[in-house]
Structure 1
Amino acid sequence: MKKTFIHTGLLLLSLSLTILVAGCSSKGDAVPSGDTADAAQAALKIRVADINTNPTFRIAVDQGIFAKHGIEAELLNFGTPAEGVNALFIKQVDVAFGADFPLLNAVAKGEYSIIASAGLATDAAASSWKLYVRDEIQQPGDLAGKNLSFMRGTFLPYLWDEYLKENKIALSTVTLTGQGAFDEAYIALKQGDVDAAWFSGSALTDKLLALDGVHELTDMSKTNVRLGMGIVTSDEFLKQNPDGVAAFLAAVDEAGTYAQEHPEEVADLMFKEVKQPKEATLKDLPNNPWHLGFSQAAYDSLANQKKYMVDTGIIAQEFDLDSKLNLAALKQALPEEATYQK
C-alpha cells in the first residue's frame, strides 16, 4: 500500500506541473521562446542616409519590413543622395545610396564598397530629370555664354558635359555654378542668378511649371545619359555585419516591391512625413522603382562614369573597379539578381 501511494503521488505531481507549464505558455505574457529572444537581441542598428523624396526606406520602416528582417533602421535626411554618401566619410551613417558619380567618388577615396545596384538606369527614370531654363533660352545653342547650375558631388557635371557635346556647345563657353540642394538651385533660377538647371521630382517641377520667366527645355531621356543608382557602405561595417547587410538588402528590395504595389499607401505616408503632395508621389513612383541586383549593365554604367571622372581629373588616381564591388551580401540575400560575373 505504501508503494502504491508514493507512485500515485508522484504521478499527480507530474500531471500538475504539466498543466502549470501548459497554462503559462498559453498566456500572452509568457517568456518568449529562444528563437524570438535571439531575434530581438540580434536586431542590427543601421543608420541609413535618405532624402525627402525617396519613399523606399520610409516604407520599409513604416510597414515593419526592416524589423521583420532584423534591422533597426535610423533614417537620416540629407539634401541630396551625394550629401548622404559624403556622410559615410565621417561615420555619420552606415549605409548610403546615390547615383554612380557619388558612389565612385566614395570608393575612390578609401575603404568603401558598392554592394548593390538599385536598377534605375531606364528611359522612364531618365525622363524624370528635367532641364529648366530662363525664357530667353529657346534652343540648346542659346546656352552658350550662360550660367548653368549643378549640384555639388552629383553626376550633373557629367550630364552637362554630355548634353553640351551632343549639341556642339563648347564647355569653355559656359559657366558652371555648384549648389548644395535643389531648393538652392530653384531660388537661383527664379532670381536669375543662374540661367539653367536640372531638376528631378514632380513636387519641384510642378513649382517650376508655375514659375514666370522659366520653362522646360528638355529632359534627360533625350540624351545618351542614363542614371545608374546603387548602395554603398564602408568595408569595416560590411566585414563586421555580413549577415546584417544581406538582411538589409533583402528588406530594401521587398520595400521597393511593396511601394510599387501600394502607391496610395506610399502617397499617404510621404504626405504625412514630409508633406509631399500625394499627386506628386503618384506621378513619380512608377518612374523610380527600386529593384536590387547587380548586372553587366550596372557595371557598364559605373565603368563609363568612372572613365569620365578619371579623364576629367575628378578622380585623381586610377583604381580597379572590380575591387570596389562587394556583392557577397547581395548574393546571399538575392542570389538570382546578382548576375554580374567579375
Structure 2
Amino acid sequence: MRKRQMLTWITAAALGMSLLSGCSAGSKSAETAGSTENSAQSTSDTKKSGDGGLTVVREAVMSNNLDQWLAIVGTEKGFFEDEGIKLEVTEFAAGINTVDAIVTGQADIGDLADYAAVNRIGNTQDKTNLRILFRLAQGTGSSLYVNPDKVKDLSDLADQGFLTLPGTAWDYWNAVTYEKAGIPEDQQNLVRVDSSQAALAVMTTGQGVAFWAGGVDAKKLEEAGMKALVSMDEIGLYTDQYLISSTEYLAQNPETVESFVKAVKTTQEWVEENTDEAAGILENKLKVPKQQFIDKFENYKMDLDFPEEAVEHFDGIKAWALENGKFAKDYDLKDFTDLTAIKKLYPDKVAE
C-alpha cells in the first residue's frame, strides 16, 4: 500500500499542474519554506513604510479560504489602511505552507487550521517560534464528495482511495470519517496529494473516490460529477482557524499587531452586516460567482477570540494526534499562544 500511495502522490502533483494550473494563482507569488522552525530572520529589517507612512504587514493566506476573503474585503474597504496598515497578501495552497512562509521570514502573519496547528507544534515543539494570536472562525462548510459510482455509503470507503493533504486538517477529518464508518486500519487507503487542486484532478481521473471539500473546490467536484455524501455537521466535525505569527515579529511589532487585529475585527463585523456587498467584491477580484461566497460565509461563525471552548477543541485534537503517534510527546497549548493583543483589545473574548 505504501508504494501505491507514493505513486499516487507523484501522479497527483503532475495532474494538478497539467489539468488545473492557475486554480490557486495568487496576486503575488512566494516560495514555500524549508523545515527548520527557527530559520526565520528578524523581521525588523523587512518591515518598511508603505505609501503615506503606512506600515507594511505581509500576510500569508490560504487560497479560496476565509482569511483570503477577509484580506481582500478589508483592503478594498480601507479598513487596514484606516489602522495604518498596508497589507501585502501572498496566496498559498494550504495553511501548512503559510507556516513555512512565517518561519523563514517571508510573511509576518498567516492562517492555520486546528489539526495543522496541533501537528506542526507537536513535531517542532522544542524549537518552534510559532505563536497562535487568536481564533479567526469556526467552519463547518465542507462536505465529503465522492464518486457516486463507487461510494454510496461511508462503509464503501474501505480499501478505496481517500484523498488527504498530509499534516493538515484533512488527516484528522479522514480519521474521524473512518471511525464513523467503522473501517479498520488495514482497510484504510489514504492517497496523499499536495494541494486541493491536485485532489480535484485525482478525483476526476478516478484514482481517488472521496475528498472533503467546500467552496470553489466543491463546485468543481460537482461539475465533474461528484456528489456530496455527508456534511461536516452530520459527522460531528468542525474546524477552528487561527491566525499565527512568530515570537520575533510579535516582540518587535506589538502596536502593529494590535492595529492588524482591529482591522480584521472591523472587516469581520462589516462582512456580517454586508454579506452581499462583500461577496460582490470577491466576485470582482476572484472571478467566482458571488453566490458561492454568500453560501460559504453562512458556514462560518466568525469571531476574534480564544475562549475555553477553543482550548478544549484544540486539546481534543491534540489528544487524538498524540494517541495515534503523530508526534512523540504532549505539550501545553499555552506555551504556543500569544493572546496579548486580543486580551488588551477584547478581554471578554479570551479564556481566563
TM-score greater than 0.5 by the shorter chain: yes
Is this contact kept in 2: 1:260–1:286, CA < 8 A? no
Report what 1:6 is aligned to: none
Report what 1:235 is aligned to: 247
Report what 1:46 is aligned to: 57
Shift of 1:49: 1.0
Which runs of 4 or more aligned residues in structure 1 lie more than 3 Å from their structure 2 counterparts after TM superposition? 105-108
Matched to 1:86, the amino acid is D
> Gaps spanning 5+ residues in structure 2: where?
1-48
Matched to 2:327, the amino acid is I
Give, in whole Å, the separation in 2 of the partners of 1:138 and 1:146.
13
CA deviation profile, 1:231-276 (whole Å, cap 9, x unmatched) = 1110110011112111111111111111121122222221222112
**In the alignment, is residue 299 of structure 1 matched against residue 311 of structure 2?**
yes
Equivalent residues in 2 for 1:19-98, closer than 5 Å:
41=53, 43-53=54-64, 54=66, 55-98=69-112
The equivalent position to 1:312 in structure 2, one of 308, 320, 324, is: 324
Report what 1:137 is aligned to: 151
Matched to 1:48, the amino acid is E
Give, in whole Å, the separation in 2 of the partners of 1:281 and 1:199.
14
Give, in whole Å, the separation in 2 of the partners of 1:114 and 1:332.
15
3-state SS of paired residue (1:118): strand
Give, in whole Å, the separation in 1 of the partners of 2:195 and 2:212.
11
TM-score by length of 2: 0.79
Shift of 1:79: 1.3
CA deviation profile, 1:85-142 (whole Å, cap 9, x unmatched) = 232222221111121122234444201111101131xxxx32x111111222111111
Shift of 1:63: 0.9
Report what 1:17 is aligned to: none
Give, in whole Å, the separation in 1 of the partners of 2:106 and 2:327.
23
CA deviation profile, 1:186-221 (whole Å, cap 9, x unmatched) = 1101100111111111x3323322323x32211111
**In the alignment, is residue 111 of structure 1 matched against residue 125 of structure 2?**
no
Are residues 106 and 67 of structure 1, via their aligned partners in 2, closer, same or farther at CA, if it must alter by over 3 Å? Answer: farther
Larger radius of gyration: 1
Q: CA RMSD in A?
A: 1.9
Matched to 1:322, the amino acid is K
Shift of 1:171: 2.5
Count of equivalent residues: 295
- Bigger mean CA deviation after superposition, 55-64 or 267-276: 267-276
Give, in whole Å, the separation in 2 of the partners of 1:179 and 1:82.
13
> Gaps spanning 5+ residues in structure 1: where?
1-36
Give, in whole Å, the separation in 1 of the partners of 2:238 and 2:279.
26
TM-score by length of 1: 0.81
Matched to 2:55, the amino acid is L
CA deviation profile, 1:272-323 (whole Å, cap 9, x unmatched) = 2211211111211222243101100011111111122222232334322111
Is this contact kept in 1: 2:265–2:303, CA < 8 A? yes
Give, in whole Å, the separation in 2 of the partners of 1:272 and 1:311.
46
Matched to 1:208, the amino acid is L
Matched to 2:190, the amino acid is L
